[in-house]
Amino acid sequence: MTGTVYTEDQVRDLARTKLHLENTESALAGVGQLTSFNQLGFRGVKDRPDGWYLPNETHYPALVLEVKGSNIKLGDKEREELHKNIRIVQTRYTQVVGLLYNGFELEVYKGDELMEGENELMDKEHYFGLFSINRINKMLIYSLTHSINDTLHFDFLIKNLYHRMIFTACALVAKRHGAALMKGMSFRLFTTAIRETLESALSDDLAKNKKLQVLIEVFSEIKLNTQCTQEAVDRFIEDVSKISDNINSDFWNGEDVMAIFFNEFNRYKAKSESGQVFTPDHITSFMYQITDTTKQDTVLDAACGSGAFLVKAMCNMVQEAGGVRTEEAREIAQTHLYGIEYDREIFALACANMLIHKDGKTHLEHMDSRSAEAGWWMREKPITRVLMNPPFENKYGCLDIVEKVLDNVPAGTVCAFILPDNKLEKARGRVRRWMQNHRLTKIIKLPKDIFSGVTTSIFMFTVGTPQRGQEVFTCYMAEDGLETIKNQGRHDIRGRWEAIEKHWVDIVRKQTGSDTIKWINPYEHLSYQEDIELPAPVRADFMKRTLAYALFKQGMEEQPFFENATDHILYGSPLAEEYKPFLATSSSPEIPLDTENWKRFRLGGKDGLFTIAKGSRLTKADQREGRVNYVGASAFNNGITNHIGNDDQLCQAGTISVCYNGSIGEAFYQDEPYWATDDVNVLTPRFQLSPHTAIFIATVIKNESIKYAFNNKWTKELMEKSEILLPAQVDGTPDFLFMERYIKSLPYARLF
């Protein structure tokens, strides 16, 4: 202890400054002598802490401070006072740090546990890190990134979103590679230090890959407000320094720093800037494990974005090799990671991300993964694993990228792609061609909230092994334990993911252990098939289908009728004469449906109710004028979309047409010969089919089709195997008589 003596008030003020105890939107924080625990939300507790940090979310760590003047030596009495306050805070928070401080002496408690080696009072975030072993303090990074974004946007006047991200990333690279970024530096000296450090860090690698120069070029192109205040420069340097302190060998576990930035910067993103999606960190970890990737593998990401998969792979491999200081770890970073990114600015981000984590950037390439150049580049590399999240939209060439990878990496390579659930379903013919050379082995459906606005699955292939009818293992990981925090994305705030990940990795590896597991025929399905419990059709369903057929038979369109009828019923407007018959009620008594006693009957196949055939394609150019009904993908006018003169491939009257693409499951009774397009399956009955029985069955088919709205196409092959629920007689055969009587009892049947 020096000769300086601090009063208790002075120690308290000193602690507030060092700990940064200030109120924020997400926490109550401060120091004082007058504020009681009762005022801080601990009802009825009159004790007064000297300092506090109380997050709004009680699963985050809290802090309580007890101070004394420097003339008071810390002893049992002072410790008991602190521990009493810790116990008070623990009534709401499971993670509590207690600090006992007199200006010179410091004792730090993690709950009741005294932490050794804590001799100097640090920023409060240091103490919260006591609860985050081997994890980056992501919440701190979000908070700092928010501050950085505001500084760059409003003080540095960097308007471009990605330029703000790249400028931040380059500053982090400079910190990681020894740049002396200090408060008080002039704006010119500050930016020069970043650029010179970038050039120095890349100097050796540029000889191997000149495309890394893009990072320096993009940094140099960023337009800055050279007149920004010294306060803004100092604030940016302080925020970047704090982030850099969190990304070191003791805390870093392969988290994608650029993705953390992106989640915060993304809140400022204009709709015109959409298209780039970063893979959540826990999913990169999951994919690394389910592909059985190890330090022996060489990993490719041909749409690498910020480098999330490469960073995670590097981290895991280095850990397996014994740590960052081993010779094997250095060899891994230099030769086991390959990435391609087409977007120039995102490529710059990937370079920065790998530089931040020191190494692995030499084999990043700025090129189009769909190009012949990329194909040759991939063929020359000893790839054994592909981990990818390609852009989902067709305009960015999603499946072109996947195909290029499959056709150019070595045989035996295990490839895992994150894609929208139905992406392969919609390209069924193309995927079947892939399966002549590559085997689709697994589909793991991911939780619905992983990517905003789209549900996704992981699709795993083995390159160079034909499918040859092999079934595909599928399962559904419905929950990942993460929760959404306003403006900060989804986080594992309750620590659930570790156990969930272990559970699902085990299921995928062993291919057993979950009720969600299904083995599918890839020539029937190319997505996980959810079990959908459908309610039986009700009277209203049959009424609607009967009314639609009655309107069609009377030559009336549905939409004008419903508009006119609605206005009449709701607003009393005059009803056109031609509509009045359709509003009359039936005098027949209502017949109960009693669906509990119905049975399931096969639609097609050898023992099915119908023979099923696919319609014929007929282009607009080949259609001739005429009076033949042309039935296509429409939900109205009995499926008729045109009238044509072509009559060489007509379907017979007395059949049911079912659309399996577009207006999925729209089923109509056709009482005249017609041309069915190749979007339509034609159901020819193996029994006497009256119009009324057909309307009944068409209603049931439409109800059954709901499950195929999720799985995309109710193809001929699937329809032949499908079963529908129908009334049955005592002997177990369909009760066609009941079906006919039921439809005839409905109000509109008399208009057929």
Number of other CB atoms surrounding residue 354 within 10 Å: 29
105-110 own/partner pairs: CB under 8 Å, 24+ apart: 105/1, 105/73, 105/74, 107/74, 107/79, 107/82, 109/82, 109/83
C-beta of residue 677 within 8 angstroms of C-beta of residue 649? no
Q: Write the CA distances from 3 to 6, 8, 13, 70, 71, integer angstroms.
A: 10, 16, 19, 10, 10
Rounded CA-CA distance 102/79 in Å is 12
Greater model confidence, 358 or 542: 542
Q: What is the pLDDT of residues 571-580, one digit of tens each?
A: 777 777 777 7
The predicted pLDDT at position 741 comes to 94
Residue located via tokens 């890349």: 202
Of the ranges 94-103, 204-213, 262-271, the best mean pLDDT one: 94-103
Residue 252 has pLDDT above 60, yes or no: no
Of the ranges 177-181, 252-256, 430-434, the best mean pLDDT one: 430-434
The three-point CA angle 238-244-245 to 5° equals: 90
Residue 377 has pLDDT above 50, yes or no: yes
Rounded CA-CA distance 179/175 in Å is 5
The predicted pLDDT at position 533 comes to 73
Q: Write the CA distances from 110 to 131, 209, 251, 455, 517, integer angstroms.
A: 8, 48, 18, 41, 43
Q: At what angle do helices 308-320 and 327-335 cross, to 10 degrees?
A: 160
Report which residue type is found at 237: I
Q: At what angle do helices 230-246 and 161-176 cross, to 10 degrees?
A: 60
Residue located via tokens 């802090």: 63
The predicted pLDDT at position 324 comes to 66
Q: At what angle do helices 187-206 and 161-176 cross, to 10 degrees?
A: 80
Greater model confidence, 258 or 484: 484
DSSP state for residue 276 in the 8-state scheme = -
Rounded CA-CA distance 734/418 in Å is 45
Weakest-pLDDT range from 33-42, 49-58, 358-367: 358-367
Give the pLDDT mean for 59-74.
Answer: 92
Report which residue type is found at 593: L
Rounded CA-CA distance 685/562 in Å is 32
Give the pLDDT mean for 314-332.
Answer: 79
Rounded CA-CA distance 713/431 in Å is 15
Greater model confidence, 613 or 179: 613
Residue 515 has pLDDT above 60, yes or no: yes
Greater model confidence, 88 or 334: 88
Q: What is the band of 116 on the pLDDT scale with cuts at 50, 70, 90?
A: confident
CB within 8 Å of 600: residues ≥ 6 apart: 723, 724, 725, 726
Percent of the chain with pLDDT over 70: 90
Backbone angles phi, psi at 604, to 5 degrees: -130, -160
Rounded CA-CA distance 500/739 in Å is 49
Rounded CA-CA distance 7/133 in Å is 36
CA atoms within 13 A on the CB side of 194: 28
Residue 488 has pLDDT above 70, yes or no: no
Closest CA to 688 of 697, 676, 679: 697
How many helices (H) and strands (E) the chain has is answered by: 23, 26
Weakest-pLDDT range from 386-390, 693-697, 710-714: 710-714
What are the residue boundaries of the structural domains of the chain, listed by start?
Answer: 8-131, 543-751
Structure tokens belonging to residue 162: 């990605």
423 burial (CB, 10 Å; 0-12 / 13-18 / 19+) is: buried
Q: What is the 3-state secondary structure (H, E, C) of 66-129?
A: EECCCCCCCCHHHHHHHHHHHHHHCCCCCCEEEEEECCCCEEEEECCEECCCCCCCCCHHHHHH
The predicted pLDDT at position 250 comes to 42
Kindly report the length of the chain: 752
8-131 is classed CATH 3.30.470: no
Q: What is the band of 249 on the pLDDT scale with cuts at 50, 70, 90?
A: very low
Closest CA to 667 of 714, 626, 597, 622: 714
CATH of 543-751, one of 3.30.2350.10, 3.90.220.20, 3.30.70.20, 3.30.56.10: 3.90.220.20
Structure tokens belonging to residue 377: 């580049």
What is the SS3 assignment for 352? Answer: helix
- Is the dihedral angle over the CA atoms 17, 20, 24, 28 positive or is it negative? negative
Q: What is the pLDDT of residues 516-540, one digit of tens each?
A: 999 999 988 899 988 777 778 889 8
Percent of the chain with pLDDT over 90: 53
The predicted pLDDT at position 530 comes to 82
Report which residue type is found at 107: E
Residue 359 has pLDDT above 60, yes or no: yes
Residue 173 has pLDDT above 80, yes or no: yes
pTM beyond 0.75, yes or no: no
The predicted pLDDT at position 274 comes to 45
Q: What is the band of 68 on the pLDDT scale with cuts at 50, 70, 90?
A: very high
Structure tokens belonging to residue 628: 């033949």
- Is the dihedral angle over the CA atoms 463, 466, 469, 470 positive or is it negative? negative
Rounded CA-CA distance 75/93 in Å is 26
Q: What is the pLDDT of residues 664-688, one digit of tens each?
A: 678 999 999 999 998 899 999 999 9
C-beta of residue 297 within 8 angstroms of C-beta of residue 241? no
Give the pLDDT mean for 95-124.
Answer: 91
The predicted pLDDT at position 172 comes to 87
What is the SS3 assignment for 190? Answer: helix
Q: At what angle do helices 213-221 and 161-176 cross, to 10 degrees?
A: 120
Q: What is the band of 1 on the pLDDT scale with cuts at 50, 70, 90?
A: very low
DSSP state for residue 431 in the 8-state scheme = H
Q: Which residues pair with 417 in a beta bridge?
A: 388, 459
| Average model confidence (pLDDT) across the chain | 87
Rounded CA-CA distance 471/675 in Å is 36
Rounded CA-CA distance 297/628 in Å is 62
Residue 594 has pLDDT above 70, yes or no: yes
The three-point CA angle 420-524-396 to 5° equals: 25
Closest CA to 169 of 216, 229, 208, 233: 216
**In what helix (H) or strand (E) does residue 572 lie, and over which residues does it extend?**
none
Residue 273 has pLDDT above 50, yes or no: no
